[in-house]
Amino acid sequence: LTTTEVIKKSRELVKHIEDIEYILCPSELDALLLENNLIKKYNPKYNIALKDEKTYPYLSLTKETFPAFHMIRKSKHLDLEHREYFGPYPFGAWKLKKILLKLFKIRDCFWDMNKKYKRPCLKYDMKTCLGPCVHKEVREEYQAMVAKVREVLKGNTKDCIQELRVQMEEMAEKFEFEKAIILREQIQELVNLEKEQISEYGKEVDEDIFVWKEVFDRMFLCVLNVREGKILGKISNNFLLEEKVYENLEEELLLSYYRKYPIPKSIVFEEKQQEVLKEGLIHLELMFDRKIESYYPKIKSRRLELLEMAFLNLEKDIENFHLKKEVIEDGMKELYSFLGLKHFPRRIECFDISNIQGKDAVASMSVSIEGKAAKGEYRKFKIQCKDTPDDFAMMREVIYRRYSKLEPKDFPDVILIDGGLGQINSAGAILEELGKIQFTDLLSLAKRDEEVYKYGETLPYSISKDKEALKIFQRVRDEAHRFGITYHRKLRSKRVISSELDHIEGIGEVRRKKLLKRFSSVSGVKAASLEELEECVPKQVAIRIKEELGG
């Protein structure tokens, strides 16, 4: 498809979207496996790939005296009674199989090992198989090889990698670099095995990962559904607590959820919830008349990783809730009434100062419109008034530069200063001097206790840290800080480079760029030999660089 066709196709698809739901995964590998599982579960209209019975490859060992090593692509071929499975592997399954067959001389044929054949196949003569089809006496050696393969497939690759590294170094010493490169690639494939996935585990696993969090007057719930060893869904919910009274909130949460949704064989909870859920689990077992296993993982394990994944999704659900238009609107209403503002706070401009002992001082202005970042409106200011640390003077300068020529109709509803009384009074003095203090509300947000100061008042306003009202201010303040720090670091790095290279006689803009391109950094220039420097600059300049920078 051409780019135009892809855009056209995407536009058509977007027309049919009613809602978007997603599950956060800890790795790309998990995301690919989860996508595969969900496509097979829901059979979506527009997903062509992965829709059939094929899946990402598994590697398997048969359960017999002389196990065979095979690759399985179709889910209907999964036979837990007669085979042991490892995977699935979205990347490099064929290459991995090839490496293991070369390292460990086990068979990948479909011959019946209950029979004794007259002669082995070609692989025996090629020394890539022990030939158990003929030589039954190799049973112990063969099973030792299978045990090593099993360990590697479980992620215990240390010994195997060490063995390959020794071979690679031997090849390099003999100048057989092509062979050394092949061994290096094999090592990388084994290293990738250590990156475990948690989205698909074993067919017998049937459990829910159950997490929740109380945020001020609202309860947020997130449940990951693991069925037949695969994550097949996420259920998220939230509700207000203030209108209800619970004797045991956690117990009621658990029971009310499983009145609506299917009960699994086991449930995974956070370790600190073990005591408070005892009664709830007993009631749950009575309700469904069956035994329900519960787990509270403490040490690193698959269940603990799933729990972390569930909390990752829970935090994202909370963040998304606070970014909803109606939630932001409620937060702005609370700010307007609680702080007694002149204007409804639809546009907020926030200022932050960044410097190290006054050096490379900058100010940044972030903008929030309707509670959301408006990055196209951000501004940055290079401070000109001082080269010594004086945040108050710097704040006066930036407020003057921003608002001295601004028309009253263009003023924001709220000017927010990152700091306390000192910073807000500095900003207020300039706005009064300009005769423009009446056009806006001047506030500051103090970092230590996240208290809000209002210009002209000495006592701060305290807003609960869980309230959306405070989060609106925090988001715009954090954006100003991030934006300012980025600009400050850029200026500082320019100063560091110029102070060490530009002050050397014979080095101008062109030669400085040439040196940095050749040696990547000032440290690289310092470490370079005289001969290497002479490749970029004349000999006398190269000598001067060594004298000035040392090294």
Which stretch of DSSP H or E encloses residue 60? strand 54-62
Angle at 542 between CA 521 and CA 360, to 5 degrees: 40
Average pLDDT over residues 492-516: 73
Structure-token pair, residue 160 = 């195997």
Residues of the chain with pLDDT > 90: what percent? 17
- Overall size of the chain counted in residues: 551
Model pLDDT, residue 71:
87
Closest CA to 210 of 274, 131, 133: 274
- pLDDT greater than 70 at residue 359: no
- pLDDT (tens digit per residue) in 491-500: 666 655 555 7
Q: Is the peptide bond before 460 cis (omega within 30 degrees of 0)?
A: no
Decide if 201 contacts 266 (C-beta within 8 A): no
Dihedral over Cα of 473, 476, 479, 481: its sign: negative
Angle at 321 between CA 449 and CA 442, to 5 degrees: 40
Model pLDDT, residue 50:
67
Closest CA to 345 of 283, 416, 254: 416
pTM of the predicted model as reported, rounded to 2 decimal places: 0.51
Residues of the chain with CATH 1.10.150.20: 504-549
- pLDDT greater than 80 at residue 181: yes
Structure-token pair, residue 81 = 């009674």
At 534 the three-state DSSP class reads helix
CATH 3.30.420.340 for domain 340-489? yes
Residue 364 is which amino acid? S
Closest CA to 60 of 38, 33, 88, 32: 88
CA 230 vs. chain centroid, Å, equals 21
Q: Which CATH class is domain 207-317?
A: alpha beta
Higher pLDDT, 331 or 205: 331
Model pLDDT, residue 52:
63
Lowest mean pLDDT among 22-31, 79-88, 278-287: 22-31
Model pLDDT, residue 117:
86
DSSP string, 129-175: S--TTT-GGGHHHHHHHHHHHHHHHTT--HHHHHHHHHHHHHHHHTT
- pLDDT greater than 80 at residue 29: no
Average pLDDT over residues 171-188: 82
The residue assigned the tokens 């900003």 is: 427
- pLDDT (tens digit per residue) in 83-109: 888 877 776 778 788 878 887 888 988
Band (517; pLDDT cuts 50, 70, 90): confident
Average pLDDT over residues 352-366: 76
DSSP string, 254-316: HHHHHHHS---SEEE--GGGTTTTHHHHHHHHHHHTS--EEE---SSSHHHHHHHHHHHHHHH
Higher pLDDT, 354 or 197: 354
At 414 the three-state DSSP class reads strand
Band (204; pLDDT cuts 50, 70, 90): low
Band (439; pLDDT cuts 50, 70, 90): very high
Phi-psi category of 54—alpha, beta or left, where left has phi over 0 and alpha has psi -120 to 50?
Answer: beta
Angle at 192 between CA 186 and CA 193, to 5 degrees: 95
DSSP 215: E
Phi-psi category of 345—alpha, beta or left, where left has phi over 0 and alpha has psi -120 to 50?
Answer: beta
Average pLDDT over residues 414-432: 92
Band (194; pLDDT cuts 50, 70, 90): low
Lowest mean pLDDT among 14-23, 65-74, 125-134: 14-23
Model pLDDT, residue 44:
78
CA 131 vs. chain centroid, Å, equals 48
Average pLDDT over residues 415-427: 91
CA gap 489, 270 in Å, rounded = 40
Band (53; pLDDT cuts 50, 70, 90): low
Higher pLDDT, 42 or 277: 277
The residue assigned the tokens 């608002």 is: 403
Band (203; pLDDT cuts 50, 70, 90): low
Q: What's the CATH fold of domain 504-549? A: DNA polymerase; domain 1 (1.10.150)
Structure-token pair, residue 174 = 């003999």
Tell how strand 218-227 and strand 69-74 pair up: unpaired
Highest mean pLDDT of the ranges 61-65, 185-189, 196-200, 493-497: 61-65
CB within 8 A of 319, min separation 6: which ones? none
Residues of the chain with pLDDT > 70: what percent? 89
Model pLDDT, residue 77:
63
- pLDDT greater than 90 at residue 444: yes
DSSP 498: I
Structure-token pair, residue 526 = 């310092």
Residue burial 15-37, b: 16+ Cβ < 10 Å; e: rest: eeeeeeeebbbbeebbbbbbbbb
Band (321; pLDDT cuts 50, 70, 90): confident
